[in-house]
Amino acid sequence: MGFITKDGLKQLLNYKYKPGEYTMLDNLMNIYWEACVKLIPKWVAPNVLTFIGWMLVIASYANMLRYDYTFKKILPDSAFFFASFCIFAYSTLDAIDGKQAKRTKSGSPLGQLFDHGCDSFSLAFFVLGICQATLLEKDDIFLIFIVSQIAFYTSNWA
């Protein structure tokens, strides 16, 4: 069987996701998220919501690149309004994809992996957007990028 032992395979097959506790903000936003998920038809797969949110993150940064890819120019306010809309929509879709999975009884470890993978990939665009907004130097951008990636991965390690 290679690298996987019988015990390891048994643990993998018996894996069950245990989410963390809600924060006070989660409890407040949950009212909004519950209302949003009821607007989604049951035939929409949770991974579709995740993918749409991920595409919005990419679209928000692509819009910034349209104005400047050197991190030297001040962007128009419309770029930041669009980015804030996309990030809010992304966070909403990211919050309701799990609720949609429970609602349709279609949750899976692969869906969780896809969700967390998209979150991980999105972080890079969030950081680049912040660096674009603050006109940081390239050495500072690199440092912030590395620190944010380390923080994200260590917080999701367990």
- Which residues belong to the active site? 116
**Rounded to an integer, what distance in angstroms lies between the CA atom of residue 33 and that of residue 78?**
26
Contact 152, 120 (CB under 8 A): yes
Measure the CA angle with vertex 146, ends 124 and 152; round to 5°.
Answer: 65
Q: How far apart are CA 113 and CA 58, in angstroms?
A: 19
User: What is d(CA 104, CA 42) in angstroms, rounded to the nearest whole number?
Assistant: 6
- DSSP per-residue codes, 73-117: SPPPHHHHHHHHHHHHHHHHHHHHHHHHHHHHT---HHHHHHHHH
